Chain A
Amino acid sequence: MTSFLIGLFLATLITALFTMRLYRLILWYSLNSLSLALLAITIGFHIGDNSMIVSGFFTLLLKAIFIPYILKRISLRFSLSRQIEPNIPVYYSIMLIPALLVFTFYLAEPITNMLSSNANYVAISISSLFLSLLLMIEHKNIAPKIIGFLSIENSLFLLGTIATNGMPMLIELGIFFDLLMAIVVINLLFKQEEEVKE
């Protein structure tokens, strides 16, 4: 189950990199967060860690439902361009993404050698971090860059869940709070853009 969910996490992120429509991108981000939430809940049940189950449910509510909903509302309210053409053509991305994955596995080898369990999963979470950075880099529009930032946060949450069997609860709640604050700031930035246009 864990392997399936991690595979799903990576697959949704890779698909997001090829997406050219904003709402689809938000949907892939939501599915990416959903697989992350289910993964945290599954691992939490498996190792009997209640705080991980709670943060899994938080992820589900916040990242898989609330943030995608708010992002869609922002895009409607501020009439963001729904066509989001990546700077890197798809045929290059098809070569670049697997190369990045292989490179990350090679790069993470010294780290994964030191971990007793979930070594490959750690490599996957590091590669998702690079893929999220790619998502930020390959778009000119601001909305995909925001989703890239949120995906980086997802990748780090995955790394925290897999490599450390969960960070302390207080820290995870603080990270959720910061994420909410980021959304408020993004909303304000768009709002001010609109005020200036008027």
Chain B
Amino acid sequence: MIYLLILPAFIMLVLSFWSVQKSRFVLPLTSLLILFPAIKLFFLPKPYSIWGTYLVADDLSAYVMLVSSIVAIGVTLAMSTLGLHVEIKDRVYARFYRFFALFWIGLTLSIISNNMGIYWIGLETATLSTVYMIKTNSSLMARKEAWNYMIVGAIAISLILFGIILIYTSFKPLLGEEAMNFSALLKSAKEIKSPFLFEIGFSITTLGMFIKMGFFPMNLWLANIERASFYPVAALFSGVLESAVIIGFFRFSKIAQLVNPLHLFIFVFIYTILTIFIVSFLIYRSKDFMRLFSLSGVEHMALIALFWASGGVFAALLHFGAHAFLKPALFLSTGILESKGKYKIAGALRGYSGVKGKVFYFLTALFLLAIISVPPSPMFFSELYGFGAMVDIAKKHQHLLLMIGAIMLLLVFLSIIFYKFTEIYQSMKYEGVEQKRVVYGNEVLALVLFAFSLLALLTPWSFEFLRSIS
């Protein structure tokens, strides 16, 4: 199975060294291959051992893997028409795929890993390969942001390793070298001899992950990087790389929940509320699509972490799936909305003609409304269930009034974001000068893929599957 999962990436890596003219059309087709092993993995009985106790697929990893594969295919579809919107050299295009292949190997390892160390190695590989992807754009800002990402990413990833070492230290007297395995840690979490050491390790690891996702106090670096990159790279960051980070948070927090659920909840609750507070005002002030979508991505990741820590696994996973499909779809649409990289919000949703243009207009408008949780968006349901989980946890700990206050506060922050998106939507639709815009088939195909994936998330079968993930 491991060969099947990694083979498409290896083919891509080899082809990227081939003649650029020949590989240009073959590379996007190769990327389609990543979906088949992900589907196969999804239907295999779980837990499925891929490589001993090191790589084990469970329902959670199979779900994240499938979602990430769909997003990656959408991104590569849109990548093929990037040269029609911005200036890009053929050589750079091949390099993008070379690093995309490395990125995919790292990502696969971190998603299916049952070992803290391998998870970290995969995440580091994925992070380092994305540094170069930022530089596919040769602008001064992209060059500066690639270095910034290298440094901030290095700090975040070092914090994660630091925390992992402390967690390993706290469990080693009990489990020996098995203390690296997530499943072994889960089984022995209640017998841990030094919970404080584990909690320190967990909070440092989580801090590293939160920095990587642009949480408080590092709210702007991710938005700057996504602004500086080409839009397919930004989509990859938002829809795929963050998946690898959040699955780590899911795994570590499951252990922390067994050690001390209240500590976990308080830590994540304070952190995410602070993040959403700052991000909502940053969104209110943002003046271009990329930053707007990027900061909204941070808000959604904070909500996912909050729902998960509250015990709302279903809500967190539904929100995660919706975010993973919606955000890259919106990032990819910026290629057309921002004509030739110049962002003018007023009138951006006007001037689309022909079937492709109309489908693009319809889907983009729909995605914009879905991201602010207008029903029947999956985000509407996930937020309802998520807030429900927060109320449930408050009832258990006799803090119901406090929690209702906190939810009200959260709703105020979310309404600021809602207001900003509605204002932008109206400005895009009713203001500005109408300009003729060109939409290419691949871009529409990518958006249709995301739209169908979102619809699939709303089916009773998906709800049932997500509920079965404990």
Q: Could you list which residues of chain A lie within 8 angstroms of chain B, going by C-beta atoms? A: 110-111, 114-115, 129, 133, 136, 142, 145, 149, 152-153, 156, 159-160, 163-164, 167-168, 170-171, 174-175, 177-178, 181-182, 185-186, 188-189, 192-193, 196
Query: Given contacts A149-B151, A170-B117, are A192 and B138 in contact (CB under 8 A)?
Result: yes
For A192, the chain B residues whose CB sits under 8 A away are 135, 138, 143
Q: With a CB–CB cut-off of 8 A, which chain A residues contact B169?
A: 115, 163-164
Cα-based distance from A189 to B131 in the complex (angstroms): 9
Q: Which residues of B contact A136 (CB under 8 A)?
A: 151, 155
B426 within 8 A of A: no
Please measure, in the bound complex, the distance between the C-alpha atom of A164 and the C-alpha atom of B177, giving whole angstroms.
10
7 sampled A-B residue pairs with Cβ under 8 A: A110-B196, A111-B200, A136-B151, A149-B158, A152-B155, A156-B165, A171-B120
Which of the residues A133, A160, A167, A178 comes within 8 Å of B124, measured between beta carbons?
Answer: A178
B132 touches A (CB below 8 Å) = yes
Q: Is the Cβ of B151 less than 8 Å from the Cβ of A156?
A: no
Neighbouring A residues of B170 by C-beta, 8 Å: 114
Q: Which chain B residues lie closer than 8 Å to A181 at the CB level?
A: 102, 124-125, 128-129
Q: Is the CB of B117 within 8 A of A171?
A: yes
**Contact in complex: B131, A163 (CB < 8 Å):** no
A-side contacts of B125, CB under 8 Å:
178, 181
Rounded to whole Å, the gap between the CB of A137 and the closest CB of chain B is 10
Main secondary structure of the interface of B (DSSP, over half): helix
- Given the known interface contacts A111-B200, A196-B143, the answer about A160 and B135 at a Cβ–Cβ threshold of 8 Å is no
Q: Cβ of A174 and Cβ of B118 under 8 Å apart? A: yes
CB-CB under 8 A from B124, the residues of chain A are: 175, 178, 181
Instruction: Tell me the bound Cα distance from A168 to B158 in angstroms.
Output: 18
A139 CB → nearest B CB, Å: 11
Shortest CB-to-CB span from B43 to chain A, Å, is: 29
B168 at interface by CB-CB < 8 Å: yes
In order of increasing CB-CB distance, the 7 nearest A-B pairs are: A171-B117, A174-B121, A178-B124, A149-B154, A114-B194, A163-B169, A152-B158
A48 vs B197: C-alpha distance when bound (angstroms): 27
Q: A160 vs B128: C-alpha distance in the bound complex, in angstroms?
A: 22
**Chain B residue contacts of A185, Cβ below 8 A:** 128-129, 131-132, 150
Given the interface pairs A153-B158, A178-B128, the reply to whether A145 lies near B168 with Cβ below 8 Å is no
The answer, yes or no, to whether B172 is at the interface (CB within 8 Å) is yes
Nearest chain A CB to B151's CB is how many angstroms away? Answer: 6
Q: Are A156 and B135 in contact (CB under 8 A)?
A: no
Instruction: Confirm or deny: B147 has a beta carbon within 8 angstroms of a beta carbon on chain A.
Output: yes
CA distance A193 to B168 in the complex (A): 40
Judge whether B9 is part of the interface by a CB distance below 8 angstroms. no
Interface residues on B, range: 35 or more
User: Is the CB–CB distance between A177 and B131 below 8 Å?
Assistant: no
B277 CB within 8 Å of chain A:
no
Q: How far is the CA of A146 from the CA of B294 in the complex (A)?
A: 27
Taking a contact as CB atoms under 8 Å apart, the answer to whether A164 and B168 are in contact is yes
Are B146 and A189 in contact, with the CB atoms below 8 A?
yes
Pick from A133, A159, A171: contact of B155, CB under 8 Å: A133
Residues of A within 8 A of B54 (CB): 170
Shortest distance between the CB of B228 and any CB in chain A (Å)? 14
Q: A114-B197, A156-B158 are in contact. Are A163 and B128 (CB under 8 A)?
A: no
* Residue numbers in B under 8 Å from A168 (CB-CB): 117, 177, 180
Contacts of B69-94 to chain A: CB distance below 8 A: none
Name the A residues within 8 Å of B158 (CB-CB).
Answer: 129, 149, 152-153, 156
A171 (CB) vs chain B CBs: closest residue: B117
Could you say which residues of chain A place their CB within 8 Å of the CB of B194?
114
Q: Enumerate chain B residues within 8 angstroms of A186, measured Cβ to Cβ.
A: 150
B154-188 CB contact bits vs A (8 Å, 1 = yes)? 11001001100110111010000100100000000
Q: Would you call A188 and B132 a contact (CB within 8 A)?
A: yes
**Alpha-carbon separation in the docked complex, A129 to B143 (Å):** 27
Most B C-beta atoms less than 10 A away, residue of A115, A156, A159, A171: A171
